[in-house]
Amino acid sequence: MAQHGKKYLEALKLIDENKLYEPQEAVSLLKKINYVKFDPTVEVHMKLGVDPRHADQMVRGVAMLPAGTGKEVKVLVFAQGEKANEAEAAGADFVGLDDLIKQIEADWLGFDVAIATPDVMGKVGRLGKKLGPRGLMPSPKAGTITFDLARTIQDVKAGRVEFKVDKTALLHIPTGKISFSEEALMANLTSVVDAVVRARPSGSKGTYIKSVVLSSTMSPSVRLDVAAATALKP
């Protein structure tokens, strides 16, 4: 069993393990218990009452973080002709097709988000085994297969995050940096929870969101009151 350091244990003492915190209270507490010298990422973790093995219970979507992610997002675009020029003008970091496919097949993955126009997916599709397991494969459901490159690139750069439930029915979604103000973190948290609520699949029965937990890199977790969290509206 992993042994935690003195600072972690001191931070843990400030959390009431038997309490479900209001979202605003949880954000304040998370900033208070931060003890690392770098700027850690804040994440929300949700346990869902779905079975991802069934297609009609798969949860996947996107959320816009009003305050951004706090990190520079490297965007790769698979496109050709005028659409390639549009992607470059919109600020994409890498634009191309055959050349990029060859680099990725050679294990290069120096980007955070991949976008593709529908007309090139016949070629891009062969990268599924490389990009799929890493969550980098362009997808219609994630809005990353599109001809509307300028807006999509702008959204991704501004704070657009994708989420997809894992095999254990858990979601892990970044919601900014601990250095953000409480107001900014609350705005991002609200947007994320709202997006997950709206992504409820048709096959979901009973309790959809079972638990909501907030944490930052290396910090103890703070459990939120699910009703209060899901009541948040942008």
Per-residue pLDDT of 32-88, as tens digits, reads: 988 888 999 999 999 999 999 999 999 988 899 999 999 889 999 999 999 999 999
Q: What is the pLDDT of residues 78-94, one digit of tens each?
A: 999 999 999 999 999 99
Given a cut of 90, is residue 234 above it in pLDDT? no
Q: Are 185 and 68 in contact (CB under 8 A)?
A: no
Tell me the C-alpha to C-alpha distance, in Å, between residue 51 and each of 46, 54, 117, 131, 166: 14, 6, 31, 24, 10
pTM: 0.79
Q: What is the pLDDT of residue 1?
A: 42
| Domain annotation for the chain: domains and CATH numbers | 18-59+165-230 (3.30.190.20), 75-158 (3.40.50.790)
Q: Are 115 and 138 in contact (CB under 8 A)?
A: yes
Q: What is the pLDDT of residue 104?
A: 96
What pLDDT band is residue 20 in, cutting at 50, 70 and 90? very high
